[in-house]
A and B are shown apart, each in its own frame.
Chain A
């Protein structure tokens, strides 16, 4: 025990010595322990947003556009969280778009054709049975691909390239190419829209719970550090982080709540519920969209898995040095199988979001999503060399990609040119990241 205390005093001294000759900005980042990389990405996002805001003459940063942006991002964002773990272990998954398509088609048939035969149309259990069966299919596909990669030693690139073709083909076979529509009304809530949002009051409740969680997390971390006498963050830094977190959360909710239902839908709702139509129009807030909540929940769960669980530790160790992981006694093959299974589950969740949003399951669903997912993870700072990446980064990466596309749509840029821009941005983002990393060393 004496050793530790002594070590810490020394540490504190060196820290103090270090902070003395640092400029205020560096000291600020050291005290708050904010990840400068992540901050850089948020900065890039802000630049993109402000840029589009100016170019579109104020169309971009509206509650409506931001709300739509988050809904459009959620499907790819969900998959990007899993892609991080895959890329971190030096693998790749090219099949996610096709797996999304296949799971979507299975869920479409399940709720529109199969289950109604037994339960009747619009039975309340349909959506959950559908979702669970989709997740089971996704998990099975992921486990199969992961097992081939881990136990038969076929490179992930090849296995999932095969998967890209196989599952796209399989999607066609489920209904011989027919589109399945419409979806179950409850299931459709997962896709967002007027119905699929939780409204103003519930949004504020979610926001307040999130703020409580932020404060609790900061308090808990401080308590843990005290317990083992580790260096503490300065008090002002703790306050700063807590306030920043809460302001961001509540700000986002205020934006979601100031996007109101379209007039005709609000009018129908008013008529149906016998509400008198006020002069200024009826203003009903959307609040947070359910797919966005799903994506955020997935992000939180995946971050927890990646940073707080043994499995996540193994994923990163495996990516950093596969041989060392093996020698440390980690069952590396099982870790690989689990990662791909997890990816399959996430594809199914993403499929639920996108089928629900489209209100149909089609053959082409999820085409090119594998590339957007990989791009989101990579723009979000996941290194293709393995070992490095964050879930939050990948989700912001997905938001960056979607912001570019959405902004270009608002500007009326043609779809071929949009792809050119997205492609260029991907390359430039990775190039900038390479420079950042070289400097950080």
Chain B
């Protein structure tokens, strides 16, 4: 059952607490190249927090992160990006008052030989990437706040795939999207997967992700209940893991699994 390759990401025994509350408690997850791992759980189960440790937004209290089998030192979002980890946050984390191109390149602006911003080149590249994601998108000159929810989401996604990510974290990527755009994101995920990118897909809604994911990892109260290959379990069994922490026979139980008396 166990994959013999080196995992792209291995998060081992991660813990973090905020003011005495264990938001994530001894959690371990891994991800292989070209694989989609869904991280499921209720709101407040700790999935976003766990993933924010990987993306550098939070600093872990304990545990280690291995990238390609080597210990990675991730202390801030810049470090994470150096390891090719790109994140699409639930809040999108776009700067509302600047335009799409400025958001795509925020923190990694293209510059002319004189050290000034090369806005024209950035806009050209933005048009190319956005054209792939959302062919109807034309509002390149407007601040992102003027865009619809779906368009803002495309901006956030475009930013993540613009820089040749190897590891992509998508936190509730379809929360703001209509059915057609959700399908587009699904296609995109499949395409990125074929390119060998590892994807963490975070959701509180199993129906969003079950068909896209190769594996699921379920969290509850900051702990990992268990993980399973999606082909080995049914949606109902996964729901049981999410709601009650009950681990089905073919899944690998984690520290948060319900103790059967």
Contact = CB atoms under 8 A, between A and B. Distances in A.
A320 B109 contact: no
A308 B96 contact: no
A14 interface: yes
Given A324-B95, A328-B93, A388-B97, A313 B117 contact: yes
A228 B128 CA distance: 11
A315 B97 CA distance: 11
A225 B135 CA distance: 21
Q: Which of B93, B95, B102, B138 has the most CB of A within 10 A?
A: B95
A35 interface: no
Given A7-B138, A327-B77, A321 B94 contact: yes
B89 A327 contact: yes
Interface stretch (B119-127, B206-214, B229-237): B119-127
Given A4-B131, A7-B138, A330-B107, A320 B124 contact: no
B128 A330 contact: no
Interface residues of B, number: 37
B81 interface: yes
Contacts of B22: none
Given A316-B98, A317-B102, A320-B98, A327 B57 contact: yes
Interface string A113-153: 00000000000000000000000000000000000000000
B259 interface: no
Nearest to B106: A328
Nearest to B145: A320
B49 to A, nearest CB: 14
A7 B106 contact: no
A310 B89 CA distance: 23
Interface string A317-349: 111110111111110000000000000000000
A227 B121 CA distance: 9
A4 B95 contact: no
A227 B81 CA distance: 31
Given A313-B102, A321-B96, A328-B106, A7 B111 contact: no
B194 interface: no
Contact of A316 (B93, B97, B124, B131): B97
Contacts of A309: 115-117
Interface in B103-155: 103, 106-109, 111, 115-117, 120-121, 123-124, 127-128, 131-132, 135, 138, 143
A188 to B, nearest CB: 36
B96 A3 contact: no
A316 B95 contact: yes
Contacts of A388: 97
Interface residues of A, number: 35
A3 B102 contact: no
Contacts of B78: 329
Given A7-B131, A317-B98, A325 B117 contact: no
A330 B106 contact: yes
Interface string A1-22: 0011011101100100000000
A230 interface: yes
A330 B108 CA distance: 9
Nearest to A441: B146
A317 B106 contact: yes
Given A228-B120, A327-B89, A320 B96 contact: yes
Nearest to A229: B124
Given A309-B115, A309-B116, A329 B107 contact: yes
Given A329-B76, A329-B81, A387-B96, A310 B109 contact: yes
B171 to A, nearest CB: 11
B77 A328 contact: yes
B97 A328 contact: no
B138 A328 contact: no
B95 A321 contact: yes
A227 B120 contact: yes
Nearest to B55: A327
Given A230-B123, A324-B93, A3 B128 contact: yes
B96 A327 contact: no
A224 interface: yes
B87 interface: yes
Contacts of A230: 120, 123-124
Given A317-B95, A388-B97, A324 B106 contact: yes
Q: Which of B87, B97, B131, B135 has the most CB of A within 10 A?
A: B97
Q: Which 3 A-B pairs rank lowest in CB-CB distance, beginning with the nearest?
A: A320-B97, A387-B97, A328-B107
Interface of A: 3-4, 6-8, 10-11, 14, 224-225, 227-228, 230, 304, 307-310, 313, 316-321, 323-330, 387-388
Given A230-B120, A330-B106, A330-B107, 8 more contacts: A4-B124, A227-B120, A310-B111, A321-B94, A324-B92, A324-B94, A327-B57, A329-B78
15 contacts: A3-B127, A3-B128, A225-B120, A228-B120, A228-B124, A309-B116, A310-B109, A310-B111, A316-B98, A321-B96, A323-B91, A326-B57, A328-B95, A328-B106, A329-B107
Interface of B: 55, 57, 76-78, 81, 87, 89, 91-98, 102-103, 106-109, 111, 115-117, 120-121, 123-124, 127-128, 131-132, 135, 138, 143
